[in-house]
Amino acid sequence: MILRLISNRPQSAEERDLEGKADVVIVGAGIAGSALALELQKRNISTLLLDRRKGLDATPRGITFQPNGLEALEKIGVLDSVQQMGSAERILEVRDWNQQVLLEADYGLLDHPQNYIMTADAVQVEHLLGSKAENLGAQTIWNTRFQEIIWKDGIAQGLRCNVEDGPSEIQASIIVGADGPQSHVRESIGATTKTKKYSDSFMVGLIGPVSELKDRARQYQAPGKMLGIMPAGPGATYIFYCVGTRSFEDLKKEGLGRFKDEVTQAAPELAEGFGTMEAWTRIAYFTPSFIKVDPWVGNGVALLGDSAHTFHPHAGQGVNLSLQDALALADVIADALSAGDTSAKRLSRYQSSRKMFADVVGQHAHYTSTYALSNNWLIKRLNRRALSKMQKNPKLMKKALEITAGVFTKKPGLIEQARIGGILP
């Protein structure tokens, strides 16, 4: 079967026609899949990326990188380029709805070379990783939907997919499911999932620049309310706003003017960023989920990114952990291919080295988002107490930041977690 390739860059005639096989096929050309393709190609492992989208998204969207993700970008070799696309901040300021500053979280406290956060356009980052992977020989087929894995003697040998003009088969030694939170690759290895869907939805988007925020990110918190604001590269600000249980249709009926008024009432500094914005085009709506998955590997199959773990985005960690996972998985795949053993047992080193981080970050994101939004009087008091204790105690702030920043090395104990959460003095 010959597959037609549609690439991000101009291709030669030979490149456009591809025999349907590769060492590794990655389902999903998002940030996680593209980062893995780049790392595999560096290890001389032939890689094919396939994605059901027609090509890269046209609408920019914001994404925040934490120190662990920045370190991974540095290892991948793209940190300098991403830095030019985004804005870096050392301070994350938390305010209540009356503008009172509750916490100034200082990433400078971290003993880490990347002791800051950075927000950029995720589409540009995806493009950068994808085109670098292609320059090293990875191939991308868009408009192609994964159907099922082809098994032989219980080991994956390839996959069936639907390319634009019909069904096709691709042979591969390893299949990676980087196909997002609703992963079909995950279903085909029979992994169990525990899903918690949150009741509060969010609007996210990029608006114009807000001069007051130059060197800091800001978050407003109040029971049932949350607004995050991050400078996101030249001329852009990323906003993240909780709209409670309202649907996108409800919000559209209320009108963009009402939405802007509501947001600028909490954060008057955003009026500058909304400027002349007259349509919803750069604003998206989503309802977060927390998905725990086990196992992350099967015989000849591995899961990566949101297909292996999906968190509440309050943590800003999904992409960051995925980039670290991609680096770890590339090494494990290289080892499995050179040993000629792609069994789940051989691949499980990937899960055992990475799952603890996903478990800690997922739980932390769950508690911090639930605490911050809760209307319960006790939780409200605990949350405020935790923030004020942290402000007064740099050691405690550093401990909490290590989790948020993804730079902890072992699972924090219960007492440590209770101190961070304000439950214990």
Ligand X SMILES: Cc1cc2nc3c(=O)[nH]c(=O)nc-3n(C[C@H](O)[C@H](O)[C@H](O)COP(=O)(O)OP(=O)(O)OC[C@H]3O[C@@H](n4cnc5c(N)ncnc54)[C@H](O)[C@@H]3O)c2cc1C
Q: Which stretch binds ligand X (CB under 6 A): 89-97, 175-183, 274-282, 411-419?
A: 175-183
| Residues whose CB is less than 8 angstroms from the CB of residue 121 and which lie 6 or more positions away in sequence, other chains included | 60, 61, 62, 63, 85, 86, 206, 232, 233, 236
User: What is the SS3 assignment for 13?
Assistant: helix
Q: Which of 317, 368, 369, 383 binds ligand X (CB under 6 A)?
A: 317
Judge contact between 318 and 239, C-beta under 8 A. Answer: no
User: What is the SS3 assignment for 271?
Assistant: helix
Closest contact distance (angstroms) between CB of 98 and ligand X is 26
Using CB under 6 A as the binding rule, whether residue 385 contacts ligand X is answered as no
Structure tokens at 202: 């969010």
Judge contact between 133 and 41, C-beta under 8 A. Answer: yes
Using CB under 6 A as the binding rule, whether residue 152 contacts ligand X is answered as no
End-to-end CA distance of the chain: give it in Å, rounded.
65
Nearer to ligand X, 173 or 324 (CB): 324
Using CB under 6 A as the binding rule, whether residue 121 contacts ligand X is answered as no
Burial of 25 (0-12, 13-18, 19+ CB in 10 A): buried
> Looking only at residues 49 through 108 of this chain, which bind ligand X when binding is defined by CB under 6 A?
50-53, 63-64
Closest contact distance (angstroms) between CB of 5 and ligand X is 15
Closest contact distance (angstroms) between CB of 37 and ligand X is 11
Q: Write each residue from 182 to 221 as x if it is in contact with ligand X (CB under 6 A), else as -, in one continuous string.
A: --x-------------------x-----------------
For 5, 234, 270, 310, 403, the CA distances from 288, given in Å and listed in that order, are 33, 28, 24, 9, 20
Closest contact distance (angstroms) between CB of 76 and ligand X is 14
Closest contact distance (angstroms) between CB of 11 and ligand X is 20
Structure tokens at 216: 């800091």
Q: Which of 298, 313, 412, 421 binds ligand X (CB under 6 A)?
A: 313
Q: Which stretch binds ligand X (CB under 6 A): 70-78, 99-107, 317-325, 327-335?
A: 317-325
Residue 412 gets which letter from DSSP?
P
Q: Which stretch binds ligand X (CB under 6 A): 4-12, 48-56, 332-340, 415-423?
A: 48-56
Nearer to ligand X, 26 or 386 (CB): 26
Q: Which of 156, 170, 178, 232 binds ligand X (CB under 6 A)?
A: 178
Please name the residue ranges forming H helices in 9-147: 13-16, 31-42, 67-76, 79-85, 122-135
Closest contact distance (angstroms) between CB of 318 and ligand X is 2
d(CA 402, CA 420): 11
Chain centroid, CA 386 distance in Å: 26
Structure tokens at 68: 């662990």
Number of residues that bind ligand X (CB under 6 A): 30
Q: Which of 20, 86, 295, 316 binds ligand X (CB under 6 A)?
A: 316
Q: Which amino acid is at 274?
A: F
Judge contact between 208 and 232, C-beta under 8 A. Answer: no
Closest contact distance (angstroms) between CB of 57 and ligand X is 8
Pick from 265, 312, 308: nearest CA to 287: 312
Closest contact distance (angstroms) between CB of 168 and ligand X is 12
Q: Which stretch binds ligand X (CB under 6 A): 13-21, 40-48, 218-226, 311-319?
A: 311-319
Residue 154 Ramachandran class (φ > 0 left, ψ -120 to 50 alpha, else beta):
left
Q: Which stretch binds ligand X (CB under 6 A): 21-29, 71-79, 209-217, 353-361?
A: 21-29
Closest contact distance (angstroms) between CB of 269 and ligand X is 20
Pick from 391, 239, 394, 333: nearest CA to 46: 333
- Chain residues that interact with ligand X, rule: CB under 6 A: 27-33, 50-53, 63-64, 145-146, 178-180, 184, 204, 286, 305-306, 313, 316-320, 322
